[in-house]
A and B are shown apart, each in its own frame.
Chain A
Amino acid sequence: TQLLEQSPQFLSIQEGENLTVYCNSSSVFSSLQWYRQEPGEGPVLLVTVVTGGEVKKLKRLTFQFGDARKDSSLHITAAQPGDTGLYLCARGGNQFYFGTGTSLTVIP
C-alpha cells in the first residue's frame, strides 16, 4: 500500500525556472521529511517538518507542511542543474515510509 503519493513523477525544466512538487496522503503524520537522492548515492535529508502549516526555507528551497499534516510541498526558486535528483518525502516516527518520488532534471 502506497501511503505517500508524490507528483509529478517526472519533471524536466530549464535552468532558472521555478517548480513545485507535492507529497500527499490520506493519513495524518506526526512529522514529514524531504530527502534528495543523487544518482549512485543514498538519499540525504533536506528538512523535517513537524507542525501543521509550518514553512521552512533552505536557500532556494521552500518546504510547507499542510495545516492538517496530511500533505506537503517543496518549491524550488530559480532551479539550477545542481538541483537535479530524485526528491522523496518520508513519514517520520518509529518507521520510515517513503513516497513514490519526483525525478527532477534541470537543463542548463
Chain B
Amino acid sequence: DAGVIQSPRHEVTEMGQEVTLRCKPISGHNSLFWYRQTMMRGLELLIYFNNNVPIDDSGMPEDRFSAKMPNASFSTLKIQPSEPRDSAVYFCASREWGGTDTQYFGPGTRLTVL
C-alpha cells in the first residue's frame, strides 16, 4: 500500500502568493486530517473530514486558510494570501473511521513563505 501521499514535499513562495497543498489518503480510509507543525506551537490540528464532509475546522487559523475534499481520494489545503508566519510543515493524515483509532501520516509539506 502506498500510504498517505502529499505534494509538494517542499514549497517556497513569496508573501502574498497562493499556496495549495495536496493530499491523497490511504484507499479505504474515510477520515482525513490536516495538521500544522512548528517549533513554537508543536503539532496542531487544523481541520478534519469524515466521508468528505468537514466536521471541525476550528483549528484553521484565519479565513486565509481553506480546505476541501471533493472526493474520497483527494484533499487540498489552500492559503491565500500566504504570509511568512504560515511557514511550517503541513501534515495530512488518514484513518478508517470506527476502526482502531490509528492515524497514518503523510511525509509532510515543508512550506517557506518569504
Contact = CB atoms under 8 A, between A and B. Distances in A.
Residues of A in contact with B, size category: 10 to 19
Nearest to A43: B105
B48 to A, nearest CB: 7
Interface residues of B, number: 19
A40 B103 CA distance: 18
B36 to A, nearest CB: 11
A95 B101 contact: no
A92 B101 contact: yes
Nearest to A103: B39
A93 B95 CA distance: 12
Contact of B107 (A42, A45, A95, A101): A42
A88 B102 contact: no
Nearest to B92: A42
Contacts of A92: 101
Interface of B: 4, 33, 35, 42-45, 48, 56, 91, 93, 100-103, 105-108
Interface of A: 31, 33, 40-45, 48, 88, 92-93, 95-101
13 contacts: A40-B107, A42-B4, A42-B105, A43-B43, A43-B91, A43-B105, A48-B101, A48-B102, A93-B101, A95-B45, A95-B48, A96-B103, A98-B35
